[in-house]
Amino acid sequence: MPDKPLQQLDLNLLKIFEALYEEQNMTRAAERLFITPSAISHAVKRLREHMNDPLFERKASRMQPTSLCRRIAPLLLSHLNGLRMAVQQFTRFDPASSEQRFNIMIHDALEPLFIPALFTRMRSLAPDVQLACRPLDRPNISRHLATGQADIAIDVALPLSKPVLHQRLSTDEFVVLRSRHHQKALTQEEYLSAQHITVSHRATGRVIEDINLQQQSINRQQVLRCQSYQTAKLLLKNSEYLLTIPTSIAKGLLDETLEIVALPVTLPGLDIDMYWHENSEQDEAIRWLREQIRLVS
């Protein structure tokens, strides 16, 4: 445990701790803060002396947090975010001159649907702001939003309640993506007898399509579960497999070898929501970011 009170920590050291904890790489942390890697190294040395702990241990190219570092990080980051929000209450957000960094936690399948249009719009209105996308950590969305590690999360509709707030961005209907060589309409009988590919980051458990199908006592034959839609796309080419997928994602994968056909069974649409913490509800910068996301959705 630290030998000195946490209150004695310099604010700049806390900002460096935050950047290194989130990036886990000295070069990226330095680039994020517009300082040199040697400045990061010097700051880490001071933090280690203050906390009487290594805090970060080098593993290949990563700076891996120690167990103490992981324990204190949520508290330190929460206080740092609280200080930022307190300051922002008295500082007017001006997109044209702001150099603020926004952090969005988003599912990788949704990233191409929102981020290119969002970043293009943001650059035209706020040329000096930064945007960082981070992997979606669904079980810990509330914590990441509370500590400020993420300003916004974008994901499917989730059973979250206050202090996490949300807004519906879109509802996407399911379709079937398949190889063009089929050359005929897809009937319900053919759909149910076909071999299916599913996409999920989880190794086990039902995907949302199967949850809804099984509520109708419909079961389908899954032959492969992969982690990315790009992998599924490669597997579909010149094969008999089918991929049930939201329309907007299917359109992004479509090429001359694939086609989109109507889903011959009934599934409810997939709702996509934007999430933020109630602490940032009145933050001008986050309110501006939420509005830009809403406008491109």
Place of tokens 């290119």: 116
Tell me the pLDDT tens digit for each residue of 45-71.
999 988 899 999 999 889 999 999 999
How many percent of the chain have pLDDT more than 90?
63
Confidence of residue 6 (pLDDT cuts 50, 70, 90): low
CATH class of 101-170+272-296: alpha beta
Structure tokens at 25: 């790489």
Give the closest residue to 17 by CA, choosing from 32, 5, 3. Answer: 32
Confidence of residue 89 (pLDDT cuts 50, 70, 90): low
**Domain positions in the chain:** 6-88, 101-170+272-296, 174-268
Tell me the pLDDT tens digit for each residue of 198-220.
999 888 888 889 899 999 998 99
Q: Across residues 230-254, what is the average pLDDT? A: 94
SS3 percent helix, strand, coil of the chain, rounded to 5, is 45, 25, 30
Q: Identify the three-state secondary structure at position 224.
A: strand
C-alpha distance from residue 77 to each of 81, 148, 261 (Å): 6, 7, 47
Residue count (the chain)? 297
* Residue 4 pLDDT > 70: no
Confidence of residue 146 (pLDDT cuts 50, 70, 90): confident
In this chain, the answer to whether the domains covering 101-170+272-296 and 174-268 adopt an identical fold is yes
| Sheet containing 101-106: order of strands | 130-135, 101-106, 152-156, 270-277, 164-172
CATH code for residues 6-88: 1.10.10.10
Q: DSSP class of residue 234?
A: H
pLDDT for residue 266 = 92
* Residue 84 pLDDT > 80: no
Confidence of residue 87 (pLDDT cuts 50, 70, 90): low
Structure tokens at 55: 């805090």
Q: Which fold has domain 174-268?
A: D-Maltodextrin-Binding Protein; domain 2 (3.40.190)
Q: Identify the three-state secondary structure at position 5.
A: coil
Q: Across residues 155-168, what is the average pLDDT? A: 93
pLDDT for residue 77 = 84
Confidence of residue 279 (pLDDT cuts 50, 70, 90): confident
Please give the mean pLDDT across all residues of the chain: 90
* Residue 81 pLDDT > 80: no
pLDDT for residue 1 = 47
Structure tokens at 177: 């993506």
Quote the longest CA-to-CA distance of the chain: 73
- For the chain, list the strands marked E by DSSP: 56-59, 62-65, 101-106, 130-135, 152-156, 164-172, 174-179, 195-199, 221-226, 242-246, 258-261, 270-277
The answer to whether 181 touches 242, Cβ cutoff 8 Å, is no
Distance between CA atoms of residues 107 and 238, nearest Å: 28
Distance between CA atoms of residues 199 and 227, nearest Å: 5
Distance between CA atoms of residues 114 and 85, nearest Å: 26
Q: Across residues 166-170, what is the average pLDDT? A: 96
* Residue 5 pLDDT > 90: no
Q: 165: which strand partners? A: 276
Give the closest residue to 224 by CA, choosing from 212, 237, 202, 241. Answer: 241
Tell me the pLDDT tens digit for each residue of 11-40.
888 889 988 998 899 998 998 888 899 999
Distance between CA atoms of residues 255 and 119, nearest Å: 25
Q: 225: which strand partners? A: 198
pLDDT for residue 149 = 84
